[in-house]
Structure 1
Amino acid sequence: MDPVSRRLLKELNDYQREAKTHPEIIELCPADDEDLTQWRATIAGLNNTPFQGGLWNLEIKIPHNYPMQPPVIKFVTPICHPNVHFKTGEICLDLLKTAWSPAWTLKSTVLAISLLLSNPEPSSPLNCDAANLLRCGDIVGYESMIRMYTQLLAMNDDDSNPN
C-alpha cells in the first residue's frame, strides 16, 4: 500500500473513532470504496448561526502527493457565504492554499471549513454581495440573506442534499 493510501486509511479510522466529538461533521468518507483519492463530506450549520439547520455536501479531491499538498475541496450544495463562490463552490481559505501543512488532516480541514461559516472573512470575498453586507455593517441583512439561502438550498429533500 502506498504512503498516501496508508495515511488516508489512518485518517478515516481516526475520524470514525472520534466522530461523535464533532457533530458538525455529519459524514466524512471516501466517495468510492475503490478510490481513496475522492472523498465526500457533509457538514451541518452550527446552532445559533444563520446556517443552523442546513446541511452542505463537500467534494474532496486528494492530490497524489498528499499530505504535502492540500486537498481540493469545494461545496457541492450551493451556499451563500462571503468566502465561497456561489456557482462553483470554490472556497477561499488560506489553509487550502498557502497556509497548508502536512499536520492538517481531512477532518481538521473540514472542521476549519465548518468554522469559516460562522467566521467569514469579508476582505477576501468570492461572493461580493454577501461580503458587502458585512463590510457595510448590515449584520441583520447579511444574516437574513444567509437564513433565506440556507432554507432554500440546504434544507430541501432533493438529490443535491440527502437529508
Structure 2
Amino acid sequence: MDPVSRRLLKELNDYQREAHNHPEIIELTPADDEDLTHWRATIAGLDQTPFQGGLWNLDVKIPHNYPMQPPTVKFITQICHPNVHFKTGEICLDLLKTAWSPAWTLKSTILAISLLLSNPEPSSPLNCDAANLLRCGDLVGYESMIRMYTQLFAMKMTEEDQ
C-alpha cells in the first residue's frame, strides 16, 4: 500500500473513532470504496448562527502528493458565504492554499471550513454581495440573506413544506 493510502486509512480510522466529538461534521468518508483520493463530507450549520439547520455537502479531492499538498475542497450544496464562490463552490481559505502544512488532516480541514461559516473573512471575498454587507456593517441584512439561502439550498424540505 502506498504512503498516501496508508495515511488516508489512518485518518479515516481516527475520524470514525472520534466522530462523536465533532457534531458539526455529519459525514467524512471516501466517496467510493475503490478510490481513497476522492472523499465526501457533510457539515452542519452551527447553532446560534444564520447557518443553523443547514446541511452542506462538500467534495474533497486528495492529490497524489498528499499530505505535502492540500486537498481540493469545494461545496456541492449551494451556499451564500463571503469566502465561497456562489456558483462553483470554491472556498477561499488560506489553509487550502498557502498556509497548508502536512500536520493538517482531512478532519481538521473540514473543521476549519465549518468554522469559516461563522467566522467569514470579508476582506478576501469570492462572494462580493455577502462580503459587502459585512464590510458596510449591515449584520442584519447579511444574516437575513444567509438564512434565506440556507433555507433554500441546505434544509431538507418536509412534505408539508412542498
Name whichever of 123-132 and 149-158 sits farther off: 149-158
Give me the whole-angstrom Cα distance separating, in 1, the residues matched to 2:37 and 2:16: 18
Q: Secondary structure at the match of 1:38?
A: strand
Give me the whole-angstrom Cα distance separating, in 2, the residues matched to 1:104 and 1:119: 19
Q: Residue 50 of structure 1 aligns with which residue?
A: 50
Deviations 1:87-140 (A, max 9, x none): 000000000000000000000000000000000000000000000000000000
Q: Residue 17 of structure 1 aligns with which residue?
A: 17
Percentage of identical aligned residues: 89
Q: Residue 60 of structure 2 aligns with which residue?
A: 60
Say yes or no: does 1:28 pair with 2:11.
Answer: no
What TM-score do you get using the length of structure 1 for normalisation? 0.96
Alignment of 1:25-104 (within 5 A): 25-104=25-104
Give me the whole-angstrom Cα distance separating, in 2, the residues matched to 1:148 and 1:36: 35
Q: Secondary structure at the match of 1:145?
A: helix
Give me the whole-angstrom Cα distance separating, in 2, the residues matched to 1:157 and 1:29: 25
Give me the whole-angstrom Cα distance separating, in 2, the residues matched to 1:40 and 1:53: 19
TM-fit CA distance, 1:156: 3.0
What TM-score do you get using the length of structure 2 for normalisation? 0.96
Give me the whole-angstrom Cα distance separating, in 1, the residues matched to 2:137 and 2:13: 43
Structure 1 segments, 4+ long, off by >3 Å, are none
Gap runs ≥5 in structure 1 = 159-163
TM-fit CA distance, 1:157: 4.8
Gap runs ≥5 in structure 2 = none
Aligned CA RMSD, in angstroms, stands at: 0.9
Give me the whole-angstrom Cα distance separating, in 1, the residues matched to 2:4 and 2:58: 20
Give me the whole-angstrom Cα distance separating, in 2, the residues matched to 1:64 and 1:157: 39
Q: Residue 161 of structure 1 aligns with which residue?
A: none
Q: Secondary structure at the match of 2:99?
A: coil
Question: What is the one-letter code of the residue matched to 2:107?
Answer: K
Question: What is the one-letter code of the residue matched to 2:40?
Answer: R
Q: Secondary structure at the match of 2:101?
A: coil
